[in-house]
């Protein structure tokens, strides 16, 4: 008869044995939130416009001012993991439309006449470790002029929400989309993502996109 000795787990800060249920299943619990360690490392970022909001552009638009674009330049050496997108109605009479996530690959680092990106009003995103953390390695914008070549339907990768007739009539009410990507969208170097609509929203929306920047090794 052999005797198996179970060694305790070693982890930073001490040594402990796993706790088991009555059915011998290992029990775990979260000490912090899902992205706490990445946030503590200073690699979680977000951007949002003025609380008064911006209009969401149609998917074929060349001006992306209200699309909250995130452009991961080809020389960033990071992958961008999208964490969450929240889109809330701010004011105005909305068109009946669906909001989607657009993407475009094979973008370099240049902003110039004749390139796919002719203007990009870069703004500084918030680091999730407020007042701490590191600088973002990507380019993002929540205000100003961002001009690209016209989008096409094939660049749509995710649907967020759709408005309805009540929204189009301008009736006040709570309207918000909260989308958890759950690690299903990675934006590699040379790629841009932005929010767009099947029609221009007309009304203003306050949108927030949260992302994580993971170094490529």
Provide the b/e sequence for 161-173 (b: ≥16 CB within 10 Å).
Answer: eebeeebeeeeee
**Domain of 162?**
36-215
Domain contains 114: yes
> CA 187 to CA 204: how far, in whole Å?
26
pTM: 0.83
- Split into its structural domains, the chain has a count of 1
Domain contains 23: no
Mean pLDDT estimate for the chain: 86
Domain contains 155: yes
pLDDT reported for residue 9: 47
Domain contains 30: no
Percent of the chain with pLDDT over 90: 62
Domain contains 144: yes
pLDDT reported for residue 26: 76
Cβ 207 vs Cβ 88: under 8 Å: yes
Domain contains 27: no
């Amino acid at each position: 008869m052999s005797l198996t000795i179970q060694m305790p787990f070693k982890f930073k800060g001490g040594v402990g044995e796993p706790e088991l249920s009555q059915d011998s299943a290992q029990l775990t619990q979260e000490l912090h939130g899902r992205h706490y360690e990445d946030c503590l490392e200073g690699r979680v970022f977000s951007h949002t416009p003025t609380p008064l909001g911006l209009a969401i552009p149609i998917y074929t638009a060349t001006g992306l001012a209200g699309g909250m674009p995130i452009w991961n330049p080809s020389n960033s050496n990071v992958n961008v993991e999208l964490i969450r997108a929240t889109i809330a109605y701010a004011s105005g009479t909305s068109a009946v439309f669906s909001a989607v996530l657009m993407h475009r690959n094979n973008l370099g680092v240049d902003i110039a006449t004749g390139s796919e990106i002719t203007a990009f009003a870069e703004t500084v995103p918030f680091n999730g470790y407020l007042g701490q953390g590191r600088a973002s390695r990507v380019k993002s914008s929540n205000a100003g002029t961002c001009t690209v070549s016209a989008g096409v339907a094939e660049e749509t990768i995710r649907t967020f929400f759709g408005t309805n007739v009540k929204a189009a009539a301008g009736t006040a009410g709570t309207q918000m989309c909260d989308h958890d990507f759950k690690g299903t969208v990675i934006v590699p170097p040379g790629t841009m993502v932005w929010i767009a609509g099947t029609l221009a929203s007309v009304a203003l929306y306050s949108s927030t996109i949260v992302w994580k920047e993971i170094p490529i090794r």
